[in-house]
Amino acid sequence: MKSSTVDVLIVGAGPAGLAAAIELKRAGVKNVRIVEREKTAGGVPRHSFHPGYGLRDLKRFLSGPKYSRYYVNKALKNGVQISTSTTATDWIDPNTLTLTCPTGIEQVRASVILLATGARERGRAARAVAGKRPSGIYTTGSLQQATYLEDLYIGKTAVIVGTEHVSLSAVLTLKHAGVKTVAMICEKSKHQTVFGAPTIMKLLYRFKLHLATKIVEIQGDQRVTGVKVSRAGKEWVIAVDTIVFTGDWIPDHELARRGGIAIDRKYKSPITNGDSQIPNRSIYTIGNLNLPIKGADRCAVEARKIASKIAKQIHKGSILS
């Protein structure tokens, strides 16, 4: 089995992992490697084609793909080694990870490991909604991948479940895919995005906003035919062929858990000290692995700060593997 050693190994080439890697190199850390399980580095913004990225970190307003290309190019220019199609699967010890890569299995030992594995939206299975398993069910992330990266047929009419910022992305993506948003529903009595946004969107895109409304059942055998919903004891069916579950994030903490790292009960993120460090280990968590969910720009800014502290400690010699 191939084995190697680096100063810092980062798991996840999203905005957080890339921003941290760039800062580490800028601060003079020699060997910085990022591993990314997808074929392309960049994280979620790669398939998030609407503008809205880069305000706090780059002082620009970019689309997701432009934003992720900026970070990937900058990381490569600064000498960061990025290994795509490479998944960190397990731990040998707190400083050594096993990687599954196109050439086989590899072991990498690092003085510091940064976990930047992000978060994902809670899908249908995790929400335990009744009904069969017809096609036509997405999260915003999977909808964007199917629409923008794979150019797949999505459907004709959709219900969006959730009213977070990301739910508005779902409206835009559905529009791009030629799907009419019929309704947006949310169990809470108030929406969870910026003031006025759902009202403006509902007027622009002509859908109904049902607050305090619960999804009871998904209808359809092969393909979704409708969604049964309820509010204040009254049930009705919205006829659609597509459902998008949005928001309600879960940190991608699988790898952290496999390493015996304690997970916070409420947020399901790894438990860290104030500096995002796993107590008594040279392991740090950055980006949306640390819930609550943040925009990509916040993740990048925070990751940069943590990376700067780590670089100082490496130079002082206070981090030894």
| Residue from 267, 295, 308, 319 in contact with ligand FAD (CB under 6 A) | 295
Which residues within the stretch 207-246 sit at the binding site for ligand FAD (CB under 6 A)?
Answer: none
Site string for ligand FAD, 82-111 (x = CB under 6 A): -----xx-----------------------
| Residue from 65, 141, 162, 220 in contact with ligand FAD (CB under 6 A) | 141
Which residues within the stretch 142-161 sit at the binding site for ligand FAD (CB under 6 A)?
Answer: 144
| Residue from 106, 241, 297, 302 in contact with ligand FAD (CB under 6 A) | 297
> Does the protein bind ligand FAD through residue 14 (CB under 6 A)?
yes
> Does the protein bind ligand FAD through residue 302 (CB under 6 A)?
no
In the complex, the smallest distance separating the C-beta of residue 104 from ligand FAD, rounded to whole angstroms, is 16
> Does the protein bind ligand FAD through residue 247 (CB under 6 A)?
no
Q: Which is nearer to ligand FAD, 214 or 309 (CB)?
A: 309
| Residue from 8, 9, 10, 15 in contact with ligand FAD (CB under 6 A) | 15
In the complex, the smallest distance separating the C-beta of residue 54 from ligand FAD, rounded to whole angstroms, is 7
In the complex, the smallest distance separating the C-beta of residue 253 from ligand FAD, rounded to whole angstroms, is 10
In the complex, the smallest distance separating the C-beta of residue 294 from ligand FAD, rounded to whole angstroms, is 6
> Does the protein bind ligand FAD through residue 45 (CB under 6 A)?
yes
> Does the protein bind ligand FAD through residue 252 (CB under 6 A)?
yes
Distances (CA, A) of 167 to 65, 81, 201, 227, 256: 19, 34, 10, 17, 28
By the criterion CB under 6 A, which residues form the site for ligand FAD?
11-17, 35-38, 43-45, 48, 52-53, 87-88, 116-118, 140-141, 144, 166, 169, 252, 255, 287-288, 294-297, 299
